[in-house]
Amino acid sequence: MDLIALRGVTKTYRTGKMEFTALRGIDISISKGELTAIVGPSGCGKSTMLNMITGIDRPTKGSVMVGGRRVDAMTEDQLARWRGANIGIVFQFFQLFPTLTALENAMLPMDLLGKGRSRERRENAERNLGLVGLSDKLDNLPSELSGGEQQRVAIARALANDPDIIIGDEPTGNLDSRTEESMFTLLKELNDKGKTIIYVTHSKDLAKKARRRIAMLDGRIVDGRVG
C-alpha cells in the first residue's frame, strides 16, 4: 500500500488577474520506508509538492492521501494535530522562534501536542540535539548560532515527536560539506530504521545518495525512477 499518493494534483496561485500554475496534474506514489530526493530547477514545483504532502498548502484540483488519510480534506485544526504527530519538517530557512533557545525550539512540537511530561520532553530534545552535534548549544538563541547550527536545530525539532515521515526542503542547504555528510548519515540511519525520508535538493551528490529520485520540470514529474 502506498504511504503517500498524489492523484491529479494541480496548484494554481492567483494574484489579482495574474495566475501561476505551480503543479500540473501530478500523479506520484511513495511507499513506506522510501528514501526519496526531489530534484529540478528553481521554480519547477518541488517545494509546492512538499507543501501538498504536508498539508501546508492545498491543491486546486486533485487529491492527496498520506497514511490512508485524505490530507486535503482535513480542517486546519485536524491538519495541525495530524502534521505534528506524523510528519517532521525541516524548512529551507529554519523557521526557528527567535525568542526561544535551541532546546526550547527542539521541544516545541512536543509542547504543542502535549506529549509526555515536561522532563521527558526536555530529555528527548536534549537527545535529538545531541544527535545533530549541538549538546553544547542548548541554551543559545538562534541569533547566537550560525546558519548551519540553526539548520541542525531545525532537524532536531523535526525529530521531536518521532514521526514516521521526515520532509526536508533543502535540509542541508546551509551546511558545509562535512556537516552535510554527517546530517545525511543521520537521515540515512533514520531511514534504515523504517522512517520515510523525502527531501528537495539542488545538490547532485546528495540526490545520488537517495534510493529514488523524482525529477520535476515546469510543474510536472518527468522522471520518478528508483535507483
Which amino acid would we find at residue 118? Answer: S
pLDDT (0 to 100) of residue 170: 84
* pTM confidence score: 0.89
Sequence-ordered alpha helix ranges (H) in the chain: 46-54, 76-86, 102-113, 118-131, 147-158, 177-192, 204-208
pLDDT (0 to 100) of residue 225: 65
- CA distances, 221 to each of 10, 120, 141, 153 (Å): 12, 42, 40, 31
Splitting the chain (227 residues) into consecutive groups of 10 residues, what average pLDDT does each group show?
Answer: 92 91 95 95 93 95 95 93 92 87 95 88 95 94 90 91 92 75 84 93 88 94 75
The domain 34-58+73-223 having CATH identifier 3.40.50.300: the answer here is yes
Q: Which long-range contacts (CB under 8 A, 24 or more apart) does 50-53 make?
A: 50/167, 50/169, 50/198, 50/200, 52/6, 52/9, 52/11, 52/23, 52/26, 53/4, 53/6, 53/87, 53/167, 53/198
* Domain residue extents for the chain: 34-58+73-223
